[in-house]
Each structure stands twice: as structure tokens, then as C-alpha cells.
């Protein structure tokens, strides 16, 4: 780790709020840019910041609802097939009647599950990062790499 990067992380640590944060990066890391979310989560984990945890998942699963109920802020990170820029979107739980269990959960339905089971949901955000190559392979495209950098900056802004 370079001296500048270490200084940046030390500065970030001193600016952190006391809120507990969970970064959930999800997607398939062997489908090229679909691994964006897990790449971001791994990088955040490497920051070793107090009160900040991260999880890398292939997809969102119901078991995460309990963890969501225990944090103040949740940041979901996923690749986008259609987006052209990195987007930061607020996420709210669905109305109870809207909850639809399908094969995959999305951030809204996972927040709803946390609300229904544990009566608590965190402030939540989705960072959607554009990808261009979703073929088999473990490498990110240049577009995805740039998006990862921007996503990490957005996370720093959210947690300070």
C-alpha cells in the first residue's frame, strides 16, 4: 500500500461517523463486469475501518436481513447492464403487500424482510456501476474499473 493511500485511509478513519455501516457487494465474479460489487466490497474490507463491515455475495439472500437489522447504514453495490454512469440511489423497504418472493431478492425486498422480521431497517443506498463485458472471465473492463473507483469515492462520502 502506497504512502498516499495509507494517509487517505487514516484521514478517512478520523472523519468517520460512529454509525455502523455494512457494504454489500453482489454479483458473479466469473462473469466479467458482474463482479463489480464483490470487487468494491473486497476493497472496502481492506480499508479495515472501525464500524464498517463488508460482505461479498453472488446474490442477495434472506439470511442477510438479520445483519441489516443490526446496522445504521447499508450500501448495496451492483453492476448495471443498462447504466452509463455510476448512480447513487436511496433505497426504501417495500410496502408489506408488495413483497414478492422470487428467485432473487433485490435491496428493497431485503430491507422489507428486515423490517418485517426484526422491526428495524437501516438507512440504505444502492450504488449501481455500469459494466460492458459480462462474458465468462474474471477481469473487469476499463469501464468497470473506472466505475469501481467512483463507487469507492461515493462510499467514502457516505460514511464520513
**52-76, pLDDT tens digit by residue?**
999 999 999 999 999 999 999 999 9
Q: Which residues of the chain have pLDDT under 70?
A: 1-17, 96-103
The Cβ-side half-sphere exposure at 98, using a 13 Å CA radius, reads 11
**List of domains in the chain:** 17-159 (3.40.50.1450)
Q: Are 60 and 26 in contact (CB under 8 A)?
A: yes
Amino acid at each position: 500500500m502506497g504512502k498516499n493511500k495509507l494517509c487517505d485511509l487514516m484521514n478517512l478513519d478520523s472523519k468517520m461517523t460512529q454509525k455502523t455501516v455494512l457494504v454489500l457487494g453482489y454479483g458473479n465474479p466469473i462473469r466479467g463486469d458482474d463482479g463489480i460489487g464483490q470487487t468494491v466490497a473486497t476493497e472496502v474490507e481492506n480499508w479495515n475501518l472501525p464500524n464498517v463491515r463488508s460482505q461479498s455475495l453472488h446474490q442477495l439472500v434472506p439470511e442477510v436481513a438479520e445483519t441489516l437489522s443490526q446496522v445504521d447504514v447499508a450500501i448495496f453495490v451492483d453492476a448495471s447492464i443498462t447504466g452509463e454512469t455510476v448512480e447513487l440511489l436511496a433505497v426504501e423497504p417495500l410496502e408489506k403487500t408488495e413483497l414478492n418472493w422470487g428467485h432473487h431478492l433485490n435491496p428493497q425486498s431485503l430491507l422489507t424482510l428486515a423490517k418485517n422480521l426484526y422491526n428495524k431497517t437501516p438507512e440504505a443506498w444502492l450504488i449501481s456501476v455500469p459494466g460492458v463485458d459480462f462474458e465468462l472471465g474474471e477481469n473487469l473492463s476499463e469501464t468497470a474499473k473506472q466505475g469501481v473507483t467512483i463507487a469507492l469515492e461515493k462510499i467514502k462520502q457516505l460514511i464520513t
